[in-house]
Structure 1
Amino acid sequence: MCKDIADYFYPISILDKQQIYEKCYEIGIDGITSIATDMAVPTICFVAERLNLVSNSSISALNTTNKAAMREVLSVSNQNCPKFIEVDKFDKFLFVEFTFPLIIKPVDRSGSRGVFKIDNLSGLEKAIELAIEESFVKKCIVEEFIEGIEVSVESISWKGKHFILAITDKVTTGAPRFVELAHHQPSLLDYPLINDLKNITSNALDALEINYGASHSEFKITEKGEIFIIEIGARMGGDFIGSQLVNLSTGYGFLEGVLKIALNQFEIPVLNNIGFAGVYFLSKETEFLLPYFLKANKFDVEKEILNKELKYIASSNDRSGYLIYNSDKKVDLY
């Protein structure tokens, strides 16, 4: 448990901005950051602004933790996003001009919680109800579904300058929940697409005023090569992307870089492109991977079976294990 090694531990909700600020002021902290959770971002910016520490603004925190606010900002700045609407209840007349299929998401959750793909109007009301139920503020967004491959861009920023560290290819369960089953770095996309992704990411980070620290930007790319922004977080990617894969594929200590920015000790990232790295997640959908979990493989970095009873996954919390690899080529177990 982290509390056993921390110098200070307080059982306070990360949403309790004022109480956390008071404890940080009392201790006299040197920096504050989040590694891979969106929920902590508003609190971090709240505390940092009051203690004159390095962070993004509270406005930026709102725009990167609320999907509707994020869509509004990106749309106003002419970034390519799916057509969307924010709702707090079902009203069929709101969707007259939308083209099915649609994706429904709580405005303020992650890990695929409350995410549904709906192919027609008959299933929309129930999906909206379930998504709103998952939301802290009881709202969701409904947006047109973009068919295509999924990738993410891992970045770190300092004083508004953005450094692209890696692009991650993704494998998901597909409809209706799109829970991620595997991640691979570096991306095998063609160079023109990679270059476009880098430029779009930098422009989107500018629009959202992500000037400091890590960011994790998710995209869909259609068969025609059109790139749509799906979501951007002002933190490292979860699923071991930020904590391990970037380091394994580039040699850059992403976690150390994030901590140094919080401490006002930024150093320009040095990337060595030393190999391929990835993670596979174990579930009922990926039961065929079980033999790789039960034997030693030359590409193993770390692996663990968390639950012997495999189940179909509705969110990332349902996954039953993980296998992190590192190799001189992509390890394709499918």
Structure 2
Amino acid sequence: MKLMFIGARLFEDVALYTEKHGITSVLTESNPDAPNQDLADVLHLVPRGMEGPKTVAIKEDVDGVVPLIGVDGPLLSLSSLKKDLEENYGIPVVTSPLKASSIAQNKYKTKKFLLENNLPTPPFQLINMDLSESHFNFPMVLKQGHGQGGVGIEVVNNHHEMIEYLEKFGNALAEDFVDGIEISVEVLGWKGDHIPLVPVYKGKTSPDGKHPLFKVKKSPLEIDGIDNSTNNEMIRELALKICRLMGVEGSADLDLIFDGEKNLVLEINTRPSGTRYLTAASCNINPLQEMVDMATGKWKSEQVQKNIKDYFAMEVPVGDFSTKRNSYLYRSFEESHGWIIHGPPHHQRITIRGETKKSVLKIAQSLKLPSLIEEPLY
């Protein structure tokens, strides 16, 4: 079995998995300075875009393609590559088709999709510099149609701040600010078969627009004062419904907010999620390794369900943490004494897994993580 992977940065998460399962790995990368290039059996440096990966896939006669791209920009091109390779060459590509990626990549289209399907989402309006007939309940969250990682997103508290934003961008999607809990849930899908994984707690919404990457996150989701088992299942069912409607394939995640009464959908991302380590820690399912199984043709949601386990997990941003363990050799919780460090310099995070909350806290305390001072964990 020979698989091609597009993108070297995330390849460290599957390098040992492909080796263990006897899969020959072919890697394409456009950045000659990207990490992990030496981990694949075969490397091809290609120009930006999808023409290079297409040529390599055909030349190498691969059995499947697994895009390991965690940014939004190339997603539409990936969907076009998927259509081409699957229809004309019989090579499966583990990414979402154009319908799903076009909805996910554009926040305006996402809102339209949610409204058309009577799915819960915060109230919003499209605005420009002419605010004469607009009415707002400040604070408001202003967003651009495209962007990720908090880029182009600001929380404004009055008309003056809103005008400053519009002078910079020209227009915006203005969404009511919801005081609540930020949540993510990943969904795996292949050939019409889908399964949602565990909901993740990403912290409280912040009027200063602080991104969840810089907060302590926990899984499974627990919210004081509610029936968490029922709520988590409702989140999973909502995610499943959305991904089925969109026809998502590969790995995707939904961002939601719990406002104290209901779960509101913010975004759908048709790419590997930033919460994938926390997901793997808490339910024992590694989304990127599941994508490898999809490409080999052996993936079934029923088997994933059987493999799901229940752990407690948390993830703490540490910036820089002195250790040699931030490498592909330490990507298994079983072999890493319950914790994994990941991420580039200055943006490293540590994900911890334990059988109980107490065991998670014990590991965290032994590591002397600085973020523990800022926010109670359990």
TM range (shorter): 0.7 to 0.9
Alignment of 1:283-302 (within 5 A): 301-302=339-340
Q: 1:34 to 1:142 in 2, by over 3 A?
A: farther
Q: Is the 8 A contact 1:64 1:232 kept in 2?
A: yes
Cα-to-partner distance string for 1:84-104 (whole Å, 9 max, x where unaligned): 2345x533236x144222111
- Looking at structure 1, the residues matched to 191 and 122 of structure 2 have their Cα atoms a distance apart, in angstroms, of 29
1:322 aligns with 2:349: yes
- Looking at structure 1, the residues matched to 130 and 337 of structure 2 have their Cα atoms a distance apart, in angstroms, of 51
Q: Is the 8 A contact 2:198 2:236 kept in 1?
A: no
AA paired with 1:234? T
1:126 aligns with 2:126: no
Match of 1:286 in 2: none
1:214 aligns with 2:247: no
Alignment of 1:1-334 (within 5 A): 1-6=35-40, 7-13=42-48, 16-29=49-62, 30-34=64-68, 36-52=70-86, 53-54=92-93, 55-86=95-126, 89-93=128-132, 96-130=134-168, 132=169, 140-171=172-203, 174-180=206-212, 181-189=215-223, 190-210=228-248, 212-223=249-260, 225-238=261-274, 241-242=275-276, 244-268=277-301, 269=304, 270-282=306-318, 301-303=339-341, 320-330=347-357, 331=360, 333=372, 334=376
Cα-to-partner distance string for 1:42-82 (whole Å, 9 max, x where unaligned): 22211110011244321221111111111111111111112
Q: 1:40 to 1:276 in 2, by over 3 A?
A: farther
Between 72-81 and 253-262, report the one with greater CA deviation.
Answer: 253-262
1:254 Cα offset (Å): 2.2
Cα-to-partner distance string for 1:118-170 (whole Å, 9 max, x where unaligned): 1111101222455x4xxxxx864221112211111122112333212211011
Give the SS at the match of 1:230. strand
Structure 2 unaligned segments of length 5 or more: list them.
1-34, 87-91, 324-335, 362-371
**Identity over aligned residues, as a percent?**
17
AA paired with 1:10? L
Give the SS at the match of 1:273. coil
Give the SS at the match of 2:129. coil
Q: Is the 8 A contact 2:252 2:269 kept in 1?
A: yes
C-alpha RMSD of matched pairs (Å)? 2.9
AA paired with 1:109? G
- Looking at structure 2, the residues matched to 237 and 265 of structure 1 have their Cα atoms a distance apart, in angstroms, of 22
1:20 Cα offset (Å): 4.1
Cα-to-partner distance string for 1:260-319 (whole Å, 9 max, x where unaligned): 223433133034424212211136xxxxxx9x989xxx9761347976xxxxxxxxxxx6
What TM-score, normalized by structure 2, do the two folds share? 0.70
Q: 1:68 to 1:171 in 2, by over 3 A?
A: same
Between 142-151 and 244-253, report the one with greater CA deviation.
Answer: 244-253
Aligned residues: 298
Give the SS at the match of 2:294. helix
Q: 1:98 to 1:235 in 2, by over 3 A?
A: same
1:32 Cα offset (Å): 3.3
- Looking at structure 2, the residues matched to 93 and 282 of structure 1 have their Cα atoms a distance apart, in angstroms, of 46
What TM-score, normalized by structure 1, do the two folds share? 0.78
Structure 1 unaligned segments of length 5 or more: list them.
133-137, 284-289, 308-318
- Looking at structure 2, the residues matched to 192 and 85 of structure 1 have their Cα atoms a distance apart, in angstroms, of 32
Q: Is the 8 A contact 2:251 2:270 kept in 1?
A: yes
Larger radius of gyration: 2
Q: Is the 8 A contact 1:150 1:219 kept in 2?
A: yes
Between the two structures, name the one with larger relative contact order (CA 8 Å, sep ≥ 6).
1
Q: Is the 8 A contact 2:203 2:216 kept in 1?
A: yes
Q: Is the 8 A contact 1:34 1:40 kept in 2?
A: no
- Looking at structure 2, the residues matched to 125 and 113 of structure 1 have their Cα atoms a distance apart, in angstroms, of 18
Q: 1:110 to 1:321 in 2, by over 3 A?
A: same
- Looking at structure 2, the residues matched to 204 and 113 of structure 1 have their Cα atoms a distance apart, in angstroms, of 25
Match of 1:135 in 2: none
Q: 1:226 to 1:158 in 2, by over 3 A?
A: same
Q: 1:92 to 1:152 in 2, by over 3 A?
A: same
